[in-house]
Amino acid sequence: MFYWVTHCMVLVLLQIVLPALFVFVALLFSLIVPPFGKYPALELQPWMYEEQFTFISEDVPEEASTKRLISALLNNPGFGTKCMKDRPEDTPCEGSGSDWAPPPLAPALMDMLLNGNWTAEFPSPGCECSSKNNKRMLPECSAGAGGMPPPQVPRNTGDTLQNLTGRNISDYLVKTYPQIISKRWEDPCAVTDLGICTHSAEGALLCLQP
Ligand SMILES: *[C@@H]1O[C@H](CO)[C@@H](O)[C@H](O)[C@H]1NC(C)=O
Ligand SMILES: *[C@@H]1O[C@H](CO)[C@@H](O)[C@H](O)[C@H]1NC(C)=O
Ligand SMILES: *[C@@H]1O[C@H](CO)[C@@H](O)[C@H](O)[C@H]1NC(C)=O
């Protein structure tokens, strides 16, 4: 009789009490949640990613809507909301830009681009893409790929506006994007007033004092 009662108690413990206990413990763990709302809301804006390039191409310059769009891009408040009235102080407006001018180019490179035998099908030096034998993340472009740098103007928001009117835009974009991406992500160290700085994976600025 004593043996039977003990056996029965163990069975009750194993089959009823223990599973219920596990569920209870699991429910307790579900109460541990990370504290939400600890950080202030972050406004998403393109300037989080540093220098921004935008381009225009005046394909139908005589059209009124084209003129309106270009004058909106060239006048205040310009791009986005950064230079609108009543903006918070932490997104400073950088004052209106200067004139349209192409960025400086090495004389030898300019010579090569001006005197090369470029055609509509082959408007500028080429790039080498990833292939079966040679794997790479980004195309490797020869100097001057994409052609002469287009005239550009700095805008009050810190953006750079390029004028690609009359150019082969796909050729320019395909051959210059590796340059922009590698400048943004691969240039690991920059020397600044704070020392040698780099961006962590989370985007924070890490600096090493000299
Ligand atoms: C430029 O290329 C075209 C077509 O390939 C050729 O006929 C012409 O002779 C070339 N001109 C020069 C200066 O190399
Ligand atoms: C862009 O370039 C074209 C061709 O060079 C020129 O006609 C046009 O006026 C330029 N646009 C602006 C806004 O400067
Ligand atoms: C633009 O350039 C590419 C080569 O990068 C060429 O294949 C294409 O035909 C060109 N487009 C025009 C409209 O000339």
Is 86 domain-assigned?
A: no
Q: Verify that 174 and 116 share a domain, yes or no.
A: yes
How far apart, in whole angstroms, are the C-alpha atoms of residue 7 and residue 85? 80
How far apart, in whole angstroms, are the C-alpha atoms of residue 8 and residue 11? 5
> Would you give the DSSP letter of residue 46?
G
How far apart, in whole angstroms, are the C-alpha atoms of residue 161 and residue 190? 24
Q: According to the model, what pLDDT value does residue 10 have?
A: 85
- State which of 119, 121, 122, 128 you would mutate to test the pocket of ligand 3, scoring each by most atoms of that ligand within 8 A of its C-beta: 121
Please give the chain's pLDDT, 210 residues, in tens: 556 667 778 888 888 889 999 999 999 988 887 777 677 777 787 877 778 888 999 988 889 998 998 898 888 888 888 888 877 666 677 766 678 999 888 888 889 899 988 998 999 998 888 888 888 888 888 888 898 999 999 888 888 899 999 999 999 998 988 887 776 554 445 544 555 555 555 555 555 554
Is 150 domain-assigned?
A: yes
Please state the atom number of ligand 2 nearest to the C-alpha of residue 163: 1
Distance from the alpha carbon of residue 148 to the mean position of ligand 3, in angstroms: 15
Q: Verify that 22 and 104 share a domain, yes or no.
A: no
Q: Verify that 13 and 59 share a domain, yes or no.
A: no
How far apart, in whole angstroms, are the C-alpha atoms of residue 200 and residue 57? 36
Task: Name 130's Cβ contacts closer than 8 Å, sequence gap at least 6.
Answer: 136, 137, 139
- Does the CB atom of residue 119 touch ligand 3 within 6 A? no
- Does the CB atom of residue 89 touch ligand 3 within 6 A? no
Domain count, the chain: 2
